[in-house]
Amino acid sequence: MKDTDIKRLLYTHLLCIFSIILSVFIPSLFLENFSILETHLTWLYICSGFVTAVNLVLYLAVKPNTSSKRSSLSHKVTRFLKCCIYFLMSCFSFHVIFVLYGAPLIELALETFLFAVILSTFTTVPCLCLLGPNLKAWLRVFSRNGVTSIWENSLQMTTISSFVGAWLGALPIPLDWERPWQVWPISCTLGATFGYVAGLVISPLWIYWNRKQLTYKNN
């Protein structure tokens, strides 16, 4: 494992964090009375778009899992369509899970679905960019000792931290504090966002700290 690989991982993560910061400040230049709390649904649209775009650009630029085989145009189109289907399936699956765990079924359906979209953006999109629409690769990466690179190790940590953040964000909702950020699903989406950012910061630092102990099957 080279220090340059860890630096490249860190730089890509910093750009992902920067995309979230941009999603907070840039819309305020064009949209009147824009704020994360007051116009939360609008921010979810924008944040999801910014993070997805940056992930795609970074994947095309960095190409951490470049294959030696050249794929045809039809194969690339098919792969892209599969990725879109996987993303939509992820959004609907999360939506159903949220409803089963107590989210409003009809009254706040759009809010619940956008929560599913932002969580899919933080978890499914990086998996699709790094591993593609390959469930076997996903299961391998999220199994014990299944990672084969620092990128997959980082993917594990950012995905898990996003889920943990979303779960922690749900804890204050039933409390009688009457704060505006307790409205469904604001605290959950903010928790997922903070969890995602925490994973982006912690994972390269953890990998660097444990670089001498980490070994990968393809190394």
Domain edges within the chain: 3-64+73-217
pLDDT band at 51 (very low <50, low <70, confident <90, very high): very high
pLDDT digits (tens, 9 = 90+) for 15-46: 999 999 999 999 999 999 999 999 999 999 99
Q: What is the pTM of this model?
A: 0.92
pLDDT digits (tens, 9 = 90+) for 176-199: 788 889 999 999 999 999 999 999
Cα separation, 77 vs 63, whole angstroms: 18
Question: What is the average pLDDT value for the chain, to the nearest integer?
Answer: 91
Q: Is the pLDDT of residue 83 over 80?
A: yes
Q: What's the confidence (pLDDT) of residue 108? A: 93
Provide the angle, in degrees to the nearest 10, between the axes of the packed helices 109-131 and 73-100.
140
pLDDT band at 131 (very low <50, low <70, confident <90, very high): very high
pLDDT band at 122 (very low <50, low <70, confident <90, very high): very high
Q: What's the confidence (pLDDT) of residue 80? A: 92
Burial of 91 (0-12, 13-18, 19+ CB in 10 A): buried
Q: How is residue 166 written in tokens?
A: 């979303």
Cα separation, 163 vs 119, whole angstroms: 8
- Nearest by Cα to 127 from 52, 74, 218: 52
59-74: average pLDDT: 70
134-148: average pLDDT: 89
Q: What's the confidence (pLDDT) of residue 114? A: 97
Q: How is residue 2 written in tokens?
A: 């080279």
47-53: average pLDDT: 97
- Residue type (1 letter), 74: S
Q: What's the confidence (pLDDT) of residue 144? A: 78
Instruction: Give, in degrees to the nearest 5, the angle at Cα 11 between 10 and 12.
Output: 95
